[in-house]
Structure 1
């Protein structure tokens, strides 16, 4: 596989608050590539496209069809106990269909049949999906600990992307305007929301919950009354070429969906590139994010709904010039039914785009946008 370091440079640039606006001056801003996505820590090459993979799956993982010269280790079904994915040279982990981390424990933690689990992912690990049906769902009470590093980010991507990195044509490494090559990442928590699926439920209480977009058969629920709920950690993580439309009514998977996620969840140095729907969509909760990079996404880059009360510090957005929608779309229950109101706090940001709106603030939302640069228009 070819080695290219554009994304490592981009993430480091995002971390330099004083130089945030200057990051837009380099052409690396729209680059999704890690430092050789096919080579986990330890060096070595990933081989060419096709053929067998060179790595060996860790004990307990079934070996699948090689992709992009990498050995495939399958993950499927429901993870009912703690599971770790180590970084192994020449290995990528396939998200095979809908993969659930834990079983929903409910808003109060007492849901019958609920089970807590933690999925821990080592720096440098690659996970991929092959179609829109392949997505990862972290249920209420469970955690995803994806703790990468600047040198070895954790990458969620598509089989097609891995094959592109392994072929002999470097011109397609960045993927152009390709999207919707696998499902995406969904994280569900027990923090307050203001759109309830039960008539008469009071927003912000344990009785107020809802089904998240993009996840069906069965639905996946989020919401509760635990503002400081913890769903794990995302640090130095990329999500690439994801997103999938479940139906024509706008029920779609985003690159990263945060639904009812609480303030103890750590989200720092995260990039979503070329997603079919929104880059990141936040449904209620109290999550705070830092060092966020959103590039080439097809719909909104950052979308908020249902009473999100949190913030983003240090954010770079570069829209696809031909297909991107709003940079920020903020919505909530209309009219306001009471707290928690949607109230976004975004600071130290650079937004670059050419279509639709830089900001679309809909009914039932508030917001504070501080210390930013916006370059928008043809």
Structure 2
């Protein structure tokens, strides 16, 4: 119901402002002074209908978008105060002033100067409201948000002491499973402080975020655990410590045992299922004497783990030192800003109790 109310109020508000704007231009170009005065009076009375429409549209929009932090929602919320301020401090005062001047027959230089200001302000509000209507239709799936296919492959790059620069991303999935609209080039927050997560709002500059390699960074070493049928490989540097391996196959992956991985305690198919479920790509496998293999879903994209990292599949991480045995097929990037293994997640989000909710 609230969506229909928002759509109706926003659409009627847009059409009303458009009617005010066009009738003003037409009357002052082609009509008499009496007609101009009549139009100004009609616009002033029309304000009493327009203002409630805009209040309802703005209020319902804020209510629906309160918990949304995707790019389109953030853009809409940033435009709303501009639309409201423009109407409150320019359009309404101008309407009263112009109606008074027109009724007195004073269509002088002052009248037309204020009229020009009103037309510019009206055009600005029409443009902003039009963008909000377009983005609202994209957010609800009524308008496609797809971009032309790029000749360039998807990539993720690190901006020193700043966000992740993502280009040509085919798919971004939110922590609730929703598909988040993407742009050809985006910046994703990795300092943990953005109020527009998952997107960067430049909070990293306010908190002094540092992306340098930590002195206590986990050593980069790929360890092979050999069994009779299967060899399991593990690199602690890229592990998020999500615990999927122990939960799924404790006979093979037991942190209370040394060595904690014993491939002979499970079948090859079960081990491969665990490697496939590993969210960080820290685990890989091979037959004895073979080459380590990661198992992924072959679908390029980024999936956001709730209160956790960016889970990346089949996208190159540029300008970064790949960990030994790591693969662009599957890896996890820190989102809370606390990992000592940046850009990789090391599970610090759970230790510090970080959440993705805006502060």
TM value normalised by structure 1:
0.18
TM value normalised by structure 2:
0.19
Structure with the largest fraction of helix: 2
Q: From the CA coordinates, give the structure whose radius of gyration is larger.
A: 2
